[in-house]
Amino acid sequence: MSLTLIPRSKPKPKPSRKHRLATRMELKRQLRDQQEQTSQAFGQLIGAADTIATLQHQLADVRAKRAEAEQVVVCLAADLDERTEERDQALAEIDRLQALLAPFLAAEANANAITVPAAERDTSRFEDQATAPINVRPLWEAIGPVVRTEGSTDPAHLPAA
């Protein structure tokens, strides 16, 4: 077996002290940045948790109010049904009583009927004299036929009516 078959690699050079210091400084700066970002994210997480807790309390309040409103609606619907049934019964009773009362009302109206003789106007005084009927006819009938005279005032030009 030959030793030439084993590949030889060069040893890695050790970084210089200056290079190691720069790398260390860079790592510390990155660590500080990451710690700052972590603290900011943690603050946002705490704020989000507070907001979520507040919203959950509000949601519980809304759900309780909704349940109460639904219960009120159910009660009002039941009351409305009862009142509607009572109204229908009252209307039926009114119709029945009106049917019973109608003959009595008719008999009372006939018994207490007010009869007045036909009125006649007293025209004996001068200011109460009866007037003649007003002649209400179309205008053409009231004035007669219209004749064109072409500006002449001579009756010979007027046709006989």
d(CA 129, CA 124): 7
Q: Are 49 and 43 in contact (CB under 8 A)?
A: no
Average pLDDT over residues 119-132: 75
pTM listed for this prediction: 0.39
d(CA 36, CA 44): 12
9-35 pLDDT, tens digit per residue, is 676 666 666 566 668 788 888 899 999
Side-chain half-sphere CA neighbours of 107 within 13 A: 5
68-125 pLDDT, tens digit per residue, is 999 999 999 999 999 999 999 999 999 999 999 999 999 999 998 888 777 777 777 8
- Selection from 160, 155, 128, 122 nearest residue 144 by Cα: 160
pLDDT, position 26: 85
Q: Is the pLDDT higher at 13 or at 62?
A: 62
102-111 pLDDT, tens digit per residue, is 999 999 999 9
- Tell me whether residue 12 is exposed, middle or buried, using C-beta atoms within 10 angstroms of its C-beta: 0 to 12, 13 to 18, 19 or more: exposed
Torsion angle, alpha carbons of 39, 43, 45, 49, to 10: 150
Q: Are 119 and 125 in contact (CB under 8 A)?
A: no
